[in-house]
Structure 1
Amino acid sequence: MAKFDLLAQKALRREQPTRTELLEVLTSTDDDLLDAVAAAFRVRLRYFERRVKLNYLVNLKSGLCPEDCTYCSQRLGSSADILTYTWLSPEETRTAASCGIDAGASRVCLVASGRGPTDRDVGRLEPTIAEIKAEHPGVEVCACLGLLSEGQADRLREAGVDAYNHNLNTSAERYSDICTTHGFSDRVDTVRSATTAGLSPCSGLIAGLGETDDDIVDALFALRELDPDSVPVNFLIPFDGTPLAGRWDLTPQRCLRILVVARLVFPDAEVRLAGGREIHLRGLQTLALHVVNSIFLGDYLTSEGQPGQADLAMIRDAGFTVEGVGEPTLPDDRARVRTRHRGAGTTVPPNT
């Protein structure tokens, strides 16, 4: 019997792993890494077969944020070299969304910087969301607008939003180390508000913030209490001009172990490989597809991802298929879909 077979069997029965079992995965040796991935793959295969869901991110409003999250290039006081602008026009939003959908994305994530939307902000999005849904029937729209006020989740659902993303990011114990302008409980409350309103809850974490193995487990257990339908796993991009600049704590093997424990805690939820995958997993991205069943296509909020064609080729070459509303139609001249919401600003990781 392979080292982590019993953990796979528990996950296939939807039994939750213990802290000790998850720590055993996180502290395992590189010699055991393929056994851990194989255990997670058995679970992934049962619930999602060889399908990969593609998500496309549209940055509606960049920078100018009053929050002080230490990991974020859009934070208060950031000197990161990013584009800053207020809301994209409805036409720009629809065009950007269509680019991602044409490339195979079945979910569009509409993201805006800031503490949270005003009621006017929600109002400005309502017709745009309706037009995206009318133009692309079957495509999911996920909003990520920050902390929600009373009634806003209901308005977003009525406008056609399917899901709401608000990540817990790290453990409750460590949260004050990465942000002082709001608390861990504020994030929990927003996820619960979205769920109560009938929006599909999407909440995950960021690894590489200086957390311990116990912090990773605590964050996953806190997420488990919220019962999210999708769990994005991000890896810190240490932007120059932010407090975490130059922090390169992650290795490709460490990233894989974190993905494995996320899959074991969430056997039948959408586990999404999100920001930072290209620079941290590097050549092991393909192996990560045997654990996760969802990725972002192309770029992120203020950093570039792989070209869209490279993502699609990676999925195909690994023997997986794109789950979506149609076949990807990304031509060579749109291999990198761009709107004015793309930026840059991080140094190259050291060769360690």
Structure 2
Amino acid sequence: MKEGIYPRSYEGDESYAFISYAHKDSATVWPIIDHMDKDGYRIWYDDGIRPGTEWDDNVAEHIQKADYFVAFISEDYIKSDNCRDELNYARDLNKARVLIYIEKVELPGGLAMRLRRLQSVRKYKFESDEEFYEKLYQAENITICKRQQETIPAEIKELYEQIKSLDLMKYYKYNTYIDIDKLLLDFSKELYSVGVCEINTEIKYKFRYLQMMCTDFKEAFVDRSGYVSFFVKDLSLVELQKRYETYLMYVSKYQIRIATFTLSVDRIREYENYFREIDLNEEQIKHILADLIEMGDYAKRIDKVKKTTEKLECFNISRNRRNQLMVKAAMLLYNDFLRKTDMVIDGLIEENGKEKAYEILLNDPELLRIY
């Protein structure tokens, strides 16, 4: 979880800036985009990826829709294939761009030639943050992403009071960084922007239900408030209850994480049916589904689950041994955030042979985290 409070990604039809950065630079980048947000700029970064969507497709879509592209250049950025893909895609779409160099880097020849023509701000050269932001906001066309002064409708003020009754102030009383009033009011605005304007009984019940069922409901306001908006706007109370009751068939917890609610009942049924088709027994299915539910929005879709399971055939093992590995390593095998499992498996087999590679992975599933 992030330290401190950082802005939600903008979702809407107005101009916004797409933020491209290497995740290893998060500690440097997040405070800058937080500052930009507080200065009135609409931004989107990958913290805004909605549950149940394809990561690459979502990123590409937001680059397409963005009217501005901000890249935080560093050694890690240059080494990242994903970052360079984003930069090249923005160039192909002829997006207005500014490069923020957060450290001195040596650019490869071809890249140096292409980037030399783009406007840039070298943050590491400024003696103060004030000078840096003054220079950044002088970048050509960046002001198209700046919000106008907003008036707050009466409906938002009412919703603000409803959310405030959840007593977030008490929960965060030891964190002096957080402006609770601003946090609540901003979240109220988000609900308003997605069409939740009427403070009716169902909305109140949804808030109350999520508060009771989820261990991290209050954190969700700060770190993943888009989820709460999604549940309040798009899901009925009956659907929330159906999801929760289905989860309890596999997870022996009273309270679960907010991200878990992103798994629909239909999606869980798809997992169940597939695992039965490939001859897992009910106890094995229960163990695997418990892990998938625990992952919530990080769980792979059914097509990727099938692809990953089929990859295990590389070991030339019996179904029983395959199932043993699936049960033990489900949290890693079926985590959509881990994109290199195929390469790890191929590398283990190449170095050790199929039989030994299987035993190595069974004994140490954490190897799947290697990139």
With the shorter chain as reference, the TM-score category is under 0.3
Higher radius of gyration, 1 or 2 = 2
**Relative contact order higher in (CA < 8 Å, ≥ 6 apart):** 1
TM-score by length of 2: 0.23
Higher helix fraction (1 or 2):
2
